[in-house]
Structure 1
Amino acid sequence: MIQTQAHAVFDAAGPFRRTEIERRELEPHDVLIDIKYAGICHSDIHTARGDWGPVEYPLVPGHEIAGVVSAVGSAVTRHAVGDRVGVGCMVDSCRECKPCRDGQEQYCQKGNTGTYGAVDRYGQLTQGGYSERIVVNEDFVVRIPDGIELDAAAPLLCAGITTYSPLRHWQAGPGRKVAVVGLGGLGHMAVKLAHAMGAEVTVLSQTLSKREDGLRLGAAHYYATSDPRTFEALAGSFDLILNTVSAAIDIDAYLSLLALDGTLVNVGAPAEPMTIHAFPLLLHRRSFAGSTIGGIAETQEMLDFCAEHRIAPEIELIAADRIDEAWERVLASDVRYRFVIDISTMGRE
């Protein structure tokens, strides 16, 4: 087994402690990656604190991973030592069901294998990117284009693809009006991507405190949802609304902002249930949908799109000993707009 340093939580209350974990020896199609940077996603917090169900501890979170290939298995053809690569939210799937065959591994009918907190085909609990090294099958490793810095690439592996996939699926582009609910880690990427696709973008945020940022990132309009007049002024306006927040919202109110045949897509995953009434859907043939990340091919497409359009997340780079502080700041919405851990600091504590 390959030994590597990591930061783990040992119970739902935390805090993080440095520990040593084991990675499997390379199988023929495996890639060993020296992790350089790992993004902090709100999902890491939800998972580690048991918001979405029981957790097996110790747990090493992290599914926004950017690094460099340091070794490859004997049959690897997609990657070579020295390649700049990334790993996102999944590290395997059944490979046999129709979604997998169609390149939609994120919707594997048997359930894809999460980068952390899942049991892999070897019967081992997966551990994530808050660590120095990881072993992943080559089919679930993507290439990071030269035009994207490694630290900025990390959040693209979740925040980037989570917003890119629904924008592509629901055809954001010229002539389409897209609203983004929330301007956080996901929301700020949604604004950048939708703008680059040619859509007219509006940010819907609780207050106007980030209005200057929103317009700089590519939004044409910015409204405060705490003002009831916003919902009156924008009724029936949007072809697509992307809800990126991880808290329950008044779905009916946001459905009223959709035009005929418009769609509200939830990509935020609050722990609390949300209610919805039928009439806002029925009367204007609206849709309420969900979306999660993207397949491996689409993730590579997203990275290439970001490189072509010079799109990168806004990040705050932190040392490994500041993860607990960063998590608290995420919960307080005190980050613009994604924390990224410099894994090289893990050995300096």
Structure 2
Amino acid sequence: MDGRKVVAWAARDTTGFLSPYSYTLRKTGSEDVVFKVLFCGIDHTDLHQMRNEIHSTNYPLVPGHEVVGEVVELGSEVKKFKIGDIVGVGCLVGSCGECLSCKSSMEQYCDSRVLTYNDIYKDGSSTQGGFSSAMTVHQRFLIRIPENLAPEQVAPLLCAGVTAYSPLKQFQESNKVFKAGILGLGGVSHLAVLIAKAMGHHVTVISSSDKKKEEALEDLGADAFLLSSSATEMEEAANSLDYILDTVPAVHHLHSYLSLLKVDGKLILVGVAPKPLQFDSVDLILGKKTITGSFIGSMEEMQEILEFWANKGLTSMIEIVNIEYVNKAFERMERNDVRYRFVLDVAGSNLE
């Protein structure tokens, strides 16, 4: 099946400014699904990519990797989906399928993974994201959206949600009440608070601004709030947490946060900082502490987070915007002026 013409919004240089753009989808393969994009979450990583701050950006770049759509065309060998299904795609659209990571349902760590945008698909075509009218994705990298979840609610779960869920899942099966720290309060972290609370953890939100205190405690239901810019509060909270999920997508020194961990505690990095982070090795050695990282989640975990979300009756806190507002939305996101995730109403926008 020949590729179809789509309209989108793309960045063309390191300013990251988005404007209308048209291109042709790659040819539909036997296991490919073509879907009309309905909604797409707006992620901080999009901004890094648009400005060429993480790795080399190929322009024009169509961002968007929290994509929900409606199936409009199926390859001849697609068995998992049918026309009209509501589906989702996150950060990945391909992997080798043969390595240990792929065979262990951890395809996000495959060395040959193909990212949803700013990457090259196996047929040599450039991948483009969800700020577009339609996408073509292999059926293995799509998930089915449960009927009891609103599509716009699902979008943030496909990257931000599973990014929090995947590392927190390791603490889920114990009867112990874990003392959790969520560092930062934004798109990923607000979902992390909701997930950790739903898992039964005692949750402390850690922020450099006391302006977030009311939001953390009243809006999100956190158990405690810790002002990281207060030396007194930080000293009083020393050695109190089992883990900290670090969601901050900016440069920050890790020393003060490591001091909050108990012996054998974990600092889990999920926020992508554009420059190297620093820590003192003695902080790890004297407390048997661990700094670890986690990258998005597997396809299996993406389906799990949707079922978890539905079963727990959770609600994403989103602000829906049209494409004409998208550059303003990124400006506001940089100022942390969103509670807590922008979702782009693609189908309801005039992309041209």
Q: Which residue of 2 aligns with 1:4?
A: 6
Q: TM-score, normalised by structure 1?
A: 0.97
Amino acid at match of 1:331: E
CA distance in 2: counterparts of 1:111 and 1:164, whole angstroms: 24
Percent identity of paired positions between Structure 1 and Structure 2: 40
> Does the residue aligned with 1:209 lie in a helix, a strand or coil?
helix
Determine whether 1:90 maps to 2:112: no
CA distance in 2: counterparts of 1:93 and 1:79, whole angstroms: 20
CA distance in 1: counterparts of 2:336 and 2:173, whole angstroms: 27
Amino acid at match of 1:285: K
Q: Which residue of 2 aligns with 1:158?
A: 159
Deviation at 1:313, TM superposition (A): 1.8
Which consecutive residues of structure 2, in runs of 5 or more, have no partner in the other structure?
A: none
Give runs of aligned pairs for residues 51-130 of structure 1, distance below 5 A. 51-108=53-110, 110-130=111-131
> Does the residue aligned with 1:198 lie in a helix, a strand or coil?
coil
CA distance in 2: counterparts of 1:290 and 1:170, whole angstroms: 15
Distance 1:326 1:172, change over 3 A: farther
* 2:160–2:191 contact (8 Å) kept in structure 1: yes
Cα-Cα RMSD: 1.3
Q: Which residue of 1 aligns with 2:212?
A: 210
* 2:172–2:199 contact (8 Å) kept in structure 1: no
Deviation at 1:34, TM superposition (A): 0.8
Q: TM-score, normalised by structure 2?
A: 0.96
CA distance in 2: counterparts of 1:72 and 1:11, whole angstroms: 34
* 1:172–1:198 contact (8 Å) kept in structure 2: no
* 1:39–1:339 contact (8 Å) kept in structure 2: yes
Q: Which residue of 2 aligns with 1:326?
A: 329
CA distance in 2: counterparts of 1:85 and 1:214, whole angstroms: 31
> Does the residue aligned with 1:13 lie in a helix, a strand or coil?
coil
Amino acid at match of 1:288: I
Q: Which residue of 2 aligns with 1:296?
A: 299
Partner deviation per Cα, 1:15-67 (whole Å, 9 max, x = no partner): 21111111123211111111100110000000110111221100000000011
Amino acid at match of 2:153: A
Partner deviation per Cα, 1:86-141 (whole Å, 9 max, x = no partner): 00000010101001000000000x23100000001010110000001000000000
Deviation at 1:348, TM superposition (A): 6.5
Q: Which residue of 1 aligns with 2:257?
A: 254
> In the comparison of the two structures, how many residue pairs are matched?
348
> Does the residue aligned with 2:245 lie in a helix, a strand or coil?
strand
Deviation at 1:147, TM superposition (A): 2.1
* 1:153–1:312 contact (8 Å) kept in structure 2: no
* 1:147–1:310 contact (8 Å) kept in structure 2: no
CA distance in 2: counterparts of 1:86 and 1:46, whole angstroms: 23
Q: Which residue of 1 aligns with 2:135?
A: 134
CA distance in 2: counterparts of 1:55 and 1:172, whole angstroms: 40
Distance 1:32 1:348, change over 3 A: closer
* 1:166–1:265 contact (8 Å) kept in structure 2: yes
Which consecutive residues of structure 1, in runs of 5 or more, have no partner in the other structure?
A: none
Q: Which residue of 1 aligns with 2:350?
A: 347
Distance 1:83 1:16, change over 3 A: same
Q: Which residue of 2 aligns with 1:245?
A: 248
CA distance in 1: counterparts of 2:350 and 2:260, whole angstroms: 50
Q: Which residue of 1 aligns with 2:235?
A: 232
Amino acid at match of 2:318: I
> Does the residue aligned with 1:19 lie in a helix, a strand or coil?
strand
